Amino acid sequence: MRQMTYQEAVREAMSQLMREDERVFLMGEDIGIYGGAFGVSRGMIEEFGPERIRNTPISEAAITGAAVGAALTGMRPIMELQFSDFVTIAMDQLVNQAAKLRYMYGGKASVPMVVRAPGGSGTGAAAQHSQSLEAWLAHVPGLKVVQPATAYDAKGLLRAAVEDNNPVIFYEHKLLYGTKSEVPEEPYTIPIGKGDIKRAGRDVTVVATSIMVHKALHAAEVLEKDGISVEVVDPRTLVPLDTELILNSVKKTSRVVVVYEAVKRGGYGAEIVSTIVESDAFDYLDAPVVRLGGKEIPIPQNPELEKHAVPQVDDIVTAIRKMMRKA
């Protein structure tokens, strides 16, 4: 099958959806001729024109609110936040409007919109352009949050997100845009709320999100040489969470490491750990659960410092070796 980058997969999903459904359109800063800050919408304005690839002023609250209003009246907007950090300026529209309107209105409305939010560190863009803020959004009832780790998942999940009748936060990682995987040409859907076993193993489960899926897979290869068999579980969707998939894996391996790039404190990994210890999988655990996340600091610019701010392959390897030695 053909290989495709994550960036191309997102673009292909958007283009296919826009060809099929006139209600789907794209809105955001510099998404037109410029092609988006990360080139995700490159070339789309040539096919769809400026009415459907709507270049906006730098006005995150208005872009987000306009997406809510358009969704409320029958459109299916996809909006790009350019950098997920800018969600701070759009927060009222996401948290107080998009997420709550349906409930507040007694189920008489729906808000089918997608917020594409490029996040994550590793580009040297420093503290205001490198965050992973998905836990903030996962905390709000009424928002769905997905974090695809591969090009294949990105294409299928984006289709599911656009077809979903609710506001969906589509958290992309900037360092994943250039990564490749096999991606079918024809449209397909990956259900929101369905996780994936990215690698089967028997000794320890690593629940990893977004770019950490790749780091966990790398760590698993290293540990295989030590005779440690690692299972890598990618929830793919934070809200709703595929609890069953995670718990079954934990019951199988009896050990679990949860790894995510966002700041460890208050991060979504804590939610995954709690879900495990509150369940009957707790009885299967042979070791305390380990959580690896970003340090409690803003992301620094210097590449060496930046690397140390978030979990790396070595950190995962070390954590698992330590856990196995205790066993």
Partner 1 sequence: MPDSVSAAADELYYRMWLVRYFDEKVDEMFAKGMIHGTTHLCVGQEATAIGGCAVLRDEDKITSTHRGHGHCIGKGADVNRMMAELMGRATGYCKGKGGSMHIADVERGNLGANGIVGGGIPLAVGAALTSKMMKQNYVVLCYFGDGASNEGSFHEAVNLASIWSLPVVFLCENNQYGMSGSVKEMMHIEHIADRAAAYGIPGVVADGNDLLEVIRVTDEAVARARRGDGPTLIEAKTYRWKGHSKSDGRKYRTREEEAEWKAKDPILRFGSTLLASGACTQDDLDRLQQRARADIEAAVQFALDSPMPDIATLEEDVFA
Q: How far is the CB of 139 from partner 1 (least distance, A)?
A: 14
Q: Is 18 or 273 the residue whose CB approaches partner 1 more closely?
A: 18
Please give the C-alpha separations between residue 234 and each of 60, 130, 199, 258, 304, in angstroms, as whole numbers.
Answer: 30, 22, 9, 10, 27
| 60 tagged catalytic | yes
Q: Is 68 or 233 the residue whose CB approaches partner 1 more closely?
A: 68
* Distance, CA of 62 to CA of 195 (rounded, Å): 33
Q: Please report, for the chain, how many H helices and E strands are present, in that order.
A: 12, 14
| 173 tagged catalytic | no
Q: How far is the CB of 19 from partner 1 (least distance, A)?
A: 16
Question: Which residue shows structure tokens 């352009």?
Answer: 129
Catalytic residue among 29, 129, 214, 231: 129
Q: Which residues pair with 54 in a beta bridge?
A: 27
Q: How far is the CB of 58 from partner 1 (least distance, A)?
A: 9
Question: Which residue shows structure tokens 């750990």?
Answer: 273
Q: How far is the CB of 283 from partner 1 (least distance, A)?
A: 28
Q: Is 21 or 226 the residue whose CB approaches partner 1 more closely?
A: 21
Catalytic residue among 8, 60, 261, 306: 60
Find the DSSP H helices in the chain: 6-20, 44-48, 60-72, 87-91, 101-104, 134-138, 151-163, 211-224, 243-253, 268-277, 303-309, 313-326
Which residues lie near partner 1 (CB under 8 A)? Answer: 22-23, 25, 51-52, 54, 56-57, 59, 61-75, 77, 92-93, 96-97, 101-110, 112, 141-142, 144, 165-166
Q: Is 56 or 132 the residue whose CB approaches partner 1 more closely?
A: 56
Q: Which residues pair with 25 in a beta bridge?
A: 77
Query: Where in the sequence numbering do the catalytic residues fall?
Result: 60, 129
